[in-house]
Amino acid sequence: MDRLPLEDIRVADFTWALSGPYSLEWLSVMGAEVIRIESALKPDGLRTNPFVTTGVEAGLNQAAGYNCLNYAKKSCTINLHSEKGIELAKQLMMKSDMVSDSFAYGVMERYELGYENLKKMKPDLVVFSKSAMGAFGRERHLFGWGTPRLYPMLDWPP
């Protein structure tokens, strides 16, 4: 069998919900080793989506939407609220070619995992961040699934 075009690429995937996992699913299908980093305390919302296969008990690994967007990926849980978790995430990132997240603006920076810190540790690392409201402009501190005027978080950033 011919090699897939991205077989030698490793991606540390901190994305969640829809657009991040969808875009990285394409990388995994093209051969990249995509490793999802998730929280055991706050699972991806798609994991708990009530739409499951008929006759199957709902659970973290039963949601069809989640499975469709992540079937070719590996995954692990890391507690980013602990020093050990931050260190584990950094170790994985330094062994990766790309890091992607879809958190609100500033989240990765609060964990010292933002672009500026990562490029100091590994200058050739590709960092792909896609927060809903972007990294620039007056609405960058908002997060959401749609228009920022529908889903503002009043005390953001904490």
Domain of residue 23, CATH code? 3.40.50.10540
Give the range with max mean pLDDT: 50-59, 105-114, 118-127.
118-127
Q: Is residue 149 part of a domain?
A: no
Instruction: Give the domain range for residue 118.
Output: 10-129
| Mean pLDDT of the chain, nearest integer | 83
- Number of residues that make up the chain: 158
pTM higher than 0.95:
no
| Nearest alpha carbon to residue 140 among 101, 114, 106 | 106
**Looking at residue 56, what is its pLDDT?**
67
Task: Count up the domains in the chain and report the number.
Answer: 1
In a domain, 158, yes or no: no
